[in-house]
A and B are shown apart, each in its own frame.
Chain A
């Protein structure tokens, strides 16, 4: 379990990092390494070059700000899961982020892994992509052509596939603030403590609007609008929009049952907190 040979650069500025990626179609960005390094070690990925962004200063910032006319919290590319989880600003502005982060892996992995890295990695079993999608957040991305914004709705293309181009670096993620009067909740069921979920559900309830996002159900994070559905029918209504998968840990039928249970649980938890 040793990686195949690769070149390694650790630029000190974002511009240098972007320049390093240019013209190297098989290069990869290295952030916390918690997903990438296992892939390298198992030789499931064999990039020609790793561009380590950990030497770029300022990328670890977490700030409350306004973007595109929306209040929210901006999480820099080097902000570790643990720092985001511990941030009082994040908790105050958008409590769904720490609610979900508490389910991401174990403490040691959260100390290294970055929230932005997790968003880019685009694992449909991961918590944060669903959170960003449900909240309608976005990624700030820097490439040879400058900076652009990718809205969460356009970010997830397929399993482990995001809309970032190979020469782009995600600089930050933006999670919109929780609107006054709105509520959020997060529930998941995993086989073992800290594992990727068998099914997870994040809910955003704002007045009559009820939206639930699901992880580990489909190939990409999926949000279902359940506005106007009677509480007793929430699970079934969600299932009409979803096609849960089977794998070695759970059958599709069992995942469907978890969708029913968790949809009701998560919406109930939001209502209860309100």
Chain B
């Protein structure tokens, strides 16, 4: 019997292709053909009325095929883009038009769309379009939005799209009655996903078949398909969306449809030519999406042990100029803020605010980093106030292992109760303390201090709702060659789905791993799907694939049972061969079973002869039995009641330079619990990537908007995404496996976790490093650069180093 692949660090099947440069991304599609290229005129102003657009100079440019402005759009195309996730509290939802109508609300908003022979000509043409603007005051940042001296949308008072409050118990009263109280004022700035591959779309209208083929770099092919069909007035059945290799998404590609995802197919249909749009880096900075910007006010009441008695959080969420993805990010902040703790009484209130900046949609972590930051900074403040160990204060607030399932009493992002399914937070804490050397740290700190070096340690805990619904599906097809083709509808942007899904199928079906081929994100192969976000692919598609493989196996055993004249319960499948347990001589391979599953009139090779009408079947019965279908296939869907909750803890040791305020990472440790591991190597890869991205968000990256709404650092020269040289060589990882009771495999999501605690854990560690030297230094704003740490040291006026 082949050993189980579940839980093994199987080498990624994708890597050979990627490392040899054989990946096929959207920009690689249709390169050899006669493709036209699109470019977009984008607003150079953050807030202006568009008085006139003059395209007359463009029409003379040789090689230009089409120019669109808002006036050229009709029907559903001329309506605002969809508000994808409505919510009762989102009373003032506004979305942009595919091309600006009357007004632009951020630098980068699409105004005109040009299609030309190549991208060079298209950009030349764009530069010849003349727009007359009437400038309006720009609203930049949470403070300006709250002040509401100027409005982003004239019809949205106070710049407030939504207000939402949730209560568990009476937090205000509990805080008033608590023996100790603290207040914190925190801010966290914007960053962005910045995948290596930006957005991109290729469309081809096939006149012979009367249908559209669309390749797009998305996290939801089925979402794009539905949106394009609605906007172009097509039937779903006329639209195929194919997601080839995707060079990273990290959330930004879950928003859809982007203006270009509609304009490219529209132009392709009108022109009868293949049209391609490939976003460049500057466009990605100014016209896709950002995340993270919040201002938070926290009040907390607690007892002598640091036990939370009441927690009252108010925050203001900067969602940019439009809100197509609804309230998902602030809802996640407001609910996931609680982490592994029991607040006893909790009130959370947020306002989601318009600003004249790029819109905000989920970025890996999706509001959790902000929530974790609020909660963990609060834990640190409580410990400092009480003079207690920071780990101890956390421990007294943990939900205990015997309290699961634990209902936090709130409504989560999927509209379901925030009920944690399983976890073991005390065990995680023990592991992280051991891994980072928590108890030994004071001695190390003293030793370093003697050498004039400042070191500090930080700890942060999180719980992450993963694998949200509504569902995913899978189709497993055993070919007559014995090879297994698996399709699931969600997309892949580098996670290694082709590897882990093949592991699950190989285990369930009893076939060789190499014989399994996985396709994702192709609506021709699996038209029912949701998408890849919220750490849901393994949980959702993994479970669906497992269930579909089970069905295929049942059918295989039934047919094999007939062929071998054995009870299916006595059969087993090993390496693609079905045999009677204990008598390996009596066997049939799965390919032959597949042949038998499809009764044939015509033979076309030796193998298929076996399935023709004079060879098989009981002449007294229909060739395909009632309730059966021809073909050896299994199809199933997985739709859980609610999300499953992964958890983890990060700890970091940093050194701060007494002279230059440079911040160096000495050790980074992660304990992670995503239930049963399918492939520990892939989970660790996700953690490494997440930690690297988190380091970027905490110490390097920010969106430097000036007060007129210009993004000053819209390139990788000034937006400081960390290089590999800025990420520690080793990240120490330990796993805990607390299975989820909600799915057949006991798994939880792992994709976002690495990035969640970074702002919190770095703020804590840097503050700890500085504490002996600059006693009043508190970090309340993240990210932090050496220049800012230096300013903080001096604003204290207490430097006594």
| Distance A77 CA – B794 CA, assembled complex (angstroms) | 46
Binds A, one of B2-10, B522-530, B719-727: B719-727
Q: Are A254 and B791 in contact (CB under 8 A)?
A: yes
| In the complex, residue of chain A having the shortest beta-carbon distance to the beta carbon of B280 | A1
Q: A1-B281, A189-B660, A193-B726 are in contact. Are A253 and B790 (CB under 8 A)?
A: yes
Please determine whether B720 and A192 come into contact, CB atoms closer than 8 angstroms.
Answer: yes
Interface residues on A, range: 20 to 34
Residues of the B chain whose Cβ atoms lie less than 8 Å from the Cβ of A198: 787
Q: Which listed segment binds A: B120-128, B261-269, B407-415, B558-566?
A: B120-128
B 776-801 binary contact with A (CB < 8 Å = 1; else 0): 00000000011100110010000000
Known contacts A249-B785, A249-B787, A253-B794; A191 and B700 CB within 8 A of each other:
yes
CA distance A191 to B786 in the complex (A): 9
Is A69 located at the chain interface by the 8 A CB criterion? Answer: no
Which chain B residues numbered 198 to 222 have a C-beta less than 8 Å away from chain A? none
Instruction: Say whether A194 contacts B723, CB under 8 Å.
Output: yes
Q: Please, how many angstroms separate the alpha-carbon atoms of A250 and B660 in the complex?
A: 12
Q: How far is the CA of A93 from the CA of B123 in the complex (A)?
A: 49
A251 to B789, CA, bound (A): 11
Is B659 at the interface (CB under 8 A from chain A)?
A: yes
In the assembled complex, B718 has its CB within 8 A of some CB on chain A:
yes
Given A249-B785, A251-B787, A254-B787, A5:B120 Cβ within 8 A: yes
Q: Judging by beta carbons under 8 Å apart, are A2 and B787 in contact?
A: no
- Verify A4–B794 contact, CB threshold 8 A: no
> A271 contacts the other chain (Cβ, under 8 Å)?
no
- B726 contacts A192, CB within 8 Å? yes
Is there contact, CB below 8 Å, between B791 and A5? no
Contacts A253-B791, A254-B791, A257-B660 known; A192 to B700 CB distance under 8 Å? yes
Q: Are B127 and A191 in contact (CB under 8 A)?
A: no
Of the residues A2, A191, A250, A261, contact of B123 by C-beta under 8 Å: A2
Docked complex Cα distance between A193 and B720 (Å): 11
Is the beta-carbon distance between B725 and A261 smaller than 8 angstroms?
no
Q: Which residue of B282, B704, B718, B722 is within 8 Å of A1 (Cβ)?
A: B282
Nearest CB on B from A230, distance (A): 19
Q: What chain A residues lie within 8 Å of B717 (beta carbons)?
A: 195-196
In the bound complex, do residue A251 and residue B791 qualify as a contact, i.e. CB atoms below 8 Å apart? yes
B120 touches A3 (CB 8 A): yes
Contact status A192-B722, CB under 8 Å: yes
A258 within 8 Å of B by Cβ? yes
Alpha-carbon distance A221/B717, docked complex (angstroms): 21
Determine if A268 is an interface residue (Cβ-Cβ < 8 Å).
no
CB distance from A201 to the nearest CB of B (A): 12
Bitwise, A251-266 to B at CB < 8 A (1) or not (0) is 1011001100100000
- Distance between A37 CB and nearest chain B CB, rounded to angstroms: 13
In the complex, the answer to whether B124 meets A4 with C-beta atoms within 8 Å is: yes
In the complex, chain B residues 111-164 whose Cβ is within 8 Å of any chain A Cβ: 119-120, 123-124, 127
Q: A248 in the interface, Cβ–Cβ < 8 Å?
A: yes
Interface membership of B713, Cβ < 8 A: yes
Q: Which of these, B119, B723, B794, contacts A2 with CB under 8 Å?
A: B119
Cα(A252)–Cα(B704), bound, Å:
17
Interface string of B272-288 (1 = CB under 8 A from A): 00000000111000000
Contact between B790 and A254, CB atoms less than 8 A apart: yes
Q: Is A43 in the interface zone, CB < 8 Å from B?
A: yes
B726 / chain A contacts, CB cutoff of 8 Å: 192-193
For A3, A195, A248, which residue has the most chain B Cβ atoms within 10 angstroms?
A248
Alpha-carbon distance between A195 and B659 when the two chains are bound, in angstroms:
20
Q: Closest chain B residue to A262 by CB distance? A: B660
**Mask for A1-32, Cβ within 8 A of B = 1, else 0?**
11111000000000000000000000000000
**A257→B790 contact, CB < 8 A:** yes
Point out the residues of chain B lying under 8 angstroms from A160, CB to CB.
Answer: none
The yes or no answer to B712 lying at the interface (CB within 8 A) is yes
Q: How far is the CB of B395 from chain A (nearest CB, A)?
A: 37
**Does B723 lie within 8 Å of A258, measured CB to CB?**
no
Provide the residues of chain B in CB contact with A254, threshold 8 Å. 661, 786-787, 790-791
- For B786, the closest partner residue in chain A by CB is A254
Residues of A with C-beta under 8 A to B119? 2
User: When the two chains form their complex, are residues A248 and B704 in contact, meaning their CB atoms are under 8 A apart?
Assistant: yes
Complex Cα distance, B700 from A250, in Å, reads 12
In the bound complex, how far is the Cα of B371 from the Cα of A270, in angstroms?
A: 49
How many whole Å from B282's CB to the nearest CB in chain A? Answer: 6
Which of chain A's residues have a CB closer than 8 A to the CB of B123?
A: 1-2, 4, 43
Known: A1-B280, A2-B120. A257 touches B725 (CB 8 A): no
Query: Using Cβ atoms and an 8 Å threshold, which residues of chain B touch A261?
Result: 659-660
Give the shortest distance, in Å, between A12 (CB) and chain B (any CB): 27
B contact residues around A250 at 8 Å (CB): 785-787
**Least CB separation from B725: chain A residue:** A193
Task: Tell me if B430 counts as interface (CB < 8 A to partner A).
Answer: no
Contact with A193, one of B713, B718, B723 (Cβ below 8 angstroms): B723
* A42 on interface, CB distance cutoff 8 Å: yes
What CA separation (Å) do A189 and B787 show in the bound complex? 12
**B-side contacts of A251, CB under 8 Å:** 787, 790-791
Of A2, A43, A248, A258, the residue contacting B718 (CB under 8 A) is A248
Asked whether any CB of chain A lies closer than 8 Å to the CB of B662, the reply is yes
Q: Which of B124, B717, B726, B786 gathers the greatest number of chain A CB atoms within 10 Å? A: B786
Instruction: Check A5–B124 contact: CB distance below 8 A.
Output: yes
User: Which residues of A lie under 8 Å from residue B715 when comparing CB positions?
Assistant: 42
Contact with B along A187-217 (1 / 0, CB 8 A): 0010111111010000000000000000000
A-chain residues with CB within 8 Å of residue B660 when the two chains form the complex: 189, 257-258, 261
Residues of A within 8 A of B282 (CB): 1, 42
Cβ of A191: which chain B residues have Cβ within 8 Å of it? 700, 720, 785-786
* Complex interface bits, A162-198 against B, C-beta within 8 A gives 1, otherwise 0: 0000000000000000000000000001011111101
Is A257 in contact with B124, judged by CB distance below 8 angstroms? no
How far, in Å, is B290 (CB) from chain A's closest CB?
A: 16
Determine the chain A residues whose CB is within 8 A of the CB of B127 once the complex forms: 4, 43
Which B residues are in CB contact (< 8 Å) with A249? 718, 720, 785, 787
Q: Which residues of A contact B280 (CB under 8 A)?
A: 1
Q: Which residues of B contact A253 (CB under 8 A)?
A: 790-791, 794
Contacts of A195 in B (CB 8 A): 717, 720
Residues A248 and B700 in contact, CB atoms below 8 Å apart: no
Min Cβ gap A3→B in Å is: 7
Please name all residues of chain A whose beta carbon is closer than 8 Å to the beta carbon of B785 when the two chains form the complex.
191, 249-250
- Residue with the greatest number of chain B CB neighbours at <10 A, chosen from A3, A5, A193, A257: A257
Ranked nearest first, the 7 interchain pairs of A and B with the lowest CB-CB distance are A193-B725, A254-B787, A1-B280, A250-B787, A248-B704, A2-B120, A261-B659
Q: List 8 A-B contacts (CB under 8 A).
A: A1-B282, A43-B127, A192-B700, A192-B726, A248-B713, A250-B787, A251-B787, A253-B794
Binding site for A on B (CB under 8 A): 119-120, 123-124, 127, 280-282, 659-662, 700, 704, 712-713, 715, 717-718, 720, 722-723, 725-726, 785-787, 790-791, 794
Further contacts, 16 of them, CB under 8 A, given A2-B119, A198-B787: A1-B280, A3-B120, A5-B124, A42-B282, A43-B123, A191-B785, A192-B720, A192-B722, A193-B723, A194-B725, A195-B717, A248-B713, A250-B785, A253-B790, A257-B659, A261-B659
